[in-house]
Amino acid sequence: MSRVAVIGGGVGGLSVAIRLASAGHRVTLVERNEHLGGKLTTYVRSGFTFDVGPSLVTLPHLLDDTFRAAGTSLDDEVEMVRLDPQFAYRWRDGSVLVKPDDAEATADSFDTFVPGAGDRWREFDAHGARIWSVAERKFIAGPMTSPAVLAQRMESRDGQTAVDPLRTLWSASRSFFDDLHLQQWVGRYATYSGSSPLKAPATLSCIPHVESAYGCWYPMGGHGVLRDAFVTVAERAGVELVTGVGVERITSTPDRVTGLGLADGTYVDAEIVISDADADHLYRDLFPDDGALRSVRRAPRSTSGFSLCLGVRDITPDITHHNVWFGDDHLQEFREIDAGQMPSDPTIYGCVSSVTDPTQAPEGDENWFLLINTPPGARFDENVMRDLVLERLARRGVDLRRRLRFSATLTPTDIERRDGTPGGSIYGTSSDGAMAAFARPANRGPKEGLYLVGGSTHPGGGLPLVSIGARIVADLVTADTGAS
């Protein structure tokens, strides 16, 4: 078995470390922050707890697969709750679309929203199911290096057009729904990968199907409980966890990597190095490679975000766990972001997990986490932007300003500082463009023994995809080292 060094303790790094340690490798994971979990982090203040990274779990069986590799299960480690309703979508004209956790109930809800939209939703969901079936078996089944690799994986009956890559998500939305509100609803799913519906392929139509078929889940106690479970399972599997020290360089011979030089002057000897750092940071700072860096920078960066953590007095009528308040001009919002400008009338996502989990706020109060999309690297007066977000929310019928106990902000600069992602890109690389998926760096690096995992490499960002990426990398290491 090999000596393995993992750079970065995000979910991708922890997951691949768990898999390889459970297979008998000697694994050391190095995280520059004092805490593990990467973006899976929380903010606690005055009895309120906020998930300031992922706030939704989809495809929990993929997380379970990681835990089962270590002889346990997600259910053994975390109490997961399937949310119903999944979301409430709201517009300034007073329209509200509630998305239940049931296919027939969802069709009925769409019919109530717009007569006849239930059948159109069924057609849209079936289209998403076909895309997901092909993507799950072919696109995210293994490492990806080029469109030719995808073509080789496609069976003749699938065809590359089955995943609908040649039209945009916005174009797909208009082919299924005549109502502008529902077109906005479809376009919202581009933001799940930090992308724009005007540029992202209609392949992303599979995301609402995944939510519908597999559910929207919440770990009781907050996502910090899920993070702690990953850390606990890694420790049980025998992973050596080193926190609070950065990696300065990856060392190598002409033939292969040899280990890590750390900022405190120590050294980690390793035959295998797996980077869960952003690929730009990897090839710029840790393992300088001009060719690889140029390739990385061809991949479009995902959006960043501006978020508010609000301690709110009292209970808000009709609020749900997950909420979206759409801006009046959805397309203008993305045009502004694409141009590097802050959106003037942003769509606002709001998570109030105390609706489901009373431990997240003092009794009778609520924990509001609000997020708007921003360009990566955006700089602005956070107080002015906070006031704008609260004013826009008030216009949509929810005025929190006189109910605030406190507010705290998180900007793209804060995210960049915390996660080491250029411009604070939340998902690493975006899905903007039909070929965006192939612009991501490969899971194998340019030197023998070097591998990449995480949101900036294949298959992309978000808890489910980085979990799949960890499995892909663990399988590559197994194949390349001849381990069984």
Please name the residue that has the structure tokens 């035959």: 271
Paired tokens of 38: 């990467």
Residue 152: what pLDDT? 63
Please name the residue that has the structure tokens 């998902």: 427
| Percent helix, percent strand, percent coil in the chain, to nearest 5 | 40, 20, 35
What gap in Å lies between CA 260 and CA 378, rounded to an integer? Answer: 33
Residue 432: what pLDDT? 87
Paired tokens of 434: 């039909």
What gap in Å lies between CA 205 and CA 200, rounded to an integer? Answer: 10
Paired tokens of 3: 């000596």
Boundaries of every domain in the chain? 3-32+244-300+432-481
What gap in Å lies between CA 323 and CA 333, rounded to an integer? Answer: 18
Paired tokens of 308: 């508010």
Residue 149: what pLDDT? 62
Asked if residues 213 and 185 have their Cβ atoms less than 8 Å apart, the reply is: no
Please name the residue that has the structure tokens 């496609």: 154
Asked if residues 326 and 90 have their Cβ atoms less than 8 Å apart, the reply is: yes
**CATH code that applies to domain 3-32+244-300+432-481:** 3.50.50.60
pLDDT tens, position by position, for the chain (484 residues)?
A: 899 999 999 999 999 999 999 999 999 999 999 999 999 999 999 999 999 999 999 999 999 999 999 999 999 999 999 999 999 999 999 999 999 999 999 999 999 999 999 999 999 999 999 999 998 887 777 786 555 665 565 554 455 578 898 899 999 999 999 999 999 999 999 999 999 999 999 999 999 999 999 999 999 999 999 999 999 999 999 999 999 999 999 999 999 999 999 999 999 999 999 999 999 999 999 999 999 999 888 888 999 999 999 999 999 999 999 999 999 988 899 999 999 999 999 999 999 999 999 999 999 999 999 999 999 999 999 999 999 999 999 999 999 999 999 999 999 999 999 888 999 999 888 888 877 777 788 999 999 999 999 999 999 889 999 999 999 999 999 999 987 5
Residue 176: what pLDDT? 98
Tell me the residue length of the chain.
484
**Residue 455, phi then psi, degrees to nearest 5:** -70, -20
Residue 156: what pLDDT? 45
Paired tokens of 437: 């998926």
With a CB cutoff of 8 Å and minimum separation 6, the contacts of 146 are: 438
Determine the distance from the C-alpha atom of residue 268 to the mean position of all C-alpha atoms in its chain, rounded to a whole number.
30
What gap in Å lies between CA 303 and CA 198, rounded to an integer? Answer: 14
Q: Give the CB-side neighbour count of residue 354, counting CA atoms within 13 A.
A: 24
Asked if residues 57 and 226 have their Cβ atoms less than 8 Å apart, the reply is: yes
What gap in Å lies between CA 468 and CA 15, rounded to an integer? Answer: 9
Asked if residues 70 and 381 have their Cβ atoms less than 8 Å apart, the reply is: no
Residue 270: what pLDDT? 98
Residue 428: what pLDDT? 83
What gap in Å lies between CA 424 and CA 278, rounded to an integer? Answer: 11
